[in-house]
Structure 1
Amino acid sequence: MQQNAVVLVGRILLSIIFIMSGFSKLTDAGSTAGMIANAGLPAATALAYLAGLFELIGGLVILVGFQTRIAAYLLAAFCVFTAFVFHSGPINVPTFSPEANGMLSMFNQIMMMKNITIAGGFLVLAAFGPGSISVDARRGLPANVRSA
């Protein structure tokens, strides 16, 4: 039981950032749409809302442990995608000082590593499942095939 409680806490911790970020994108998609447009992707506002919906729903299904493995693989891929598309390069705002741009570049690198690290957490969750304190377990799926 202790191991399953730890898995539940892990799911809660992994889900919080996505629930909060998804809700934020859905209530104010403007800054996310700007980042998407700056990355050269089309339909930035629509993609911002889609990302928000994906993050919110993905976070909620991880939180309750429903279709956990599928959601964990999808969120891991999302984290790696966003790490490389939005956080892999240096920041250079022309009106900022070199020091400010250096600090922003350092923060961007930290964001990239955070996303890659979270992806690793989701891969572990996908490999080992949501534990017994989950919707998947309540549905009666054996531990080794839950959400597979």
Structure 2
Amino acid sequence: MFDKLQNPLALAGRLLMAVLFLPAGIAKLTGFAGTVGYISSVGLPMAQVGAALALVVEIVGAIALIAGFGTRAAAIVLAVFTLLASFFFHAYWAVPAEHQMIQQLLFFKNVAVVGGLLSIAAWGAGAWSVDARRGRA
């Protein structure tokens, strides 16, 4: 039964991952100054460069997942990006106790997303993808 569902599930997984990144990237693009301010607030240098890099990674990565184009590379880049962002922006161990629960939840949600992205990187995009049509699934 699961053999018949492999390609639809692979597509659904890619689309659902993209749902996390595409709106976030677009929000960074449309609210660039706010994104720069938020990055600056955690003490990271070159906040404008970081914001530009983040929005490109999120938008391009999400589009790659949607299309299934360069899927494995996109998944790896998004996984590394997500893991790094988690340590800087959801450092639950460094916030007051009353704020730890939500930051811890967000941190471990991102860790789970990294796990899903690594699965996509390991197994590829599936047959319903540009990668498969190009013989690179």
1:5 aligns with 2:8: yes
TM-aligned CA deviation for residue 77 of structure 1: 0.7
Cα distance, 1:107 vs structure 2: 1.2
Aligned to 2:130: 135
* Cα RMSD, aligned residues only: 1.5
The TM-score normalised by the length of structure 2 is: 0.90
% identical aligned pairs: 40
Larger Cα Rg: Structure 1 or Structure 2? Answer: 1
Structure 1: 5+ residue runs without aligned partners?
A: 93-100
Count of residues in Structure 1 that have an aligned counterpart in Structure 2: 133
Equivalent position to 2:95, from 80, 91, 105: 91
CA deviation string 1:17-47 (max 9, x = no partner): 1000000000102332222112221121231
Q: How far is the alpha carbon of 1:121 from its aligned partner? A: 0.1
Gaps of 5+ in 2: none
C-alpha distance 31-107 of structure 1, shift in aligned 2 (>3 A) = farther
Task: Give yes or no for the alignment of 1:26 onto 2:35.
Answer: no
| Alignment counterpart, residue 101 of structure 2, candidates 86, 97, 106 | 106
CA contact (8 A) 2:10 2:125 kept: yes
Task: Measure the CA separation in 2 of the matches of 1:26 and 1:85.
Answer: 20
Task: Considering fraction of residues, name the structure with more helix.
Answer: 2
- Decide whether the 8 Å contact of 2:26 with 2:59 is kept in 1: yes
Shift of 1:119: 0.3
* Structure-2 residue corresponding to 1:121: 116
Shift of 1:50: 1.9
Scaled by the length of structure 1, the TM-score of the pair is 0.83
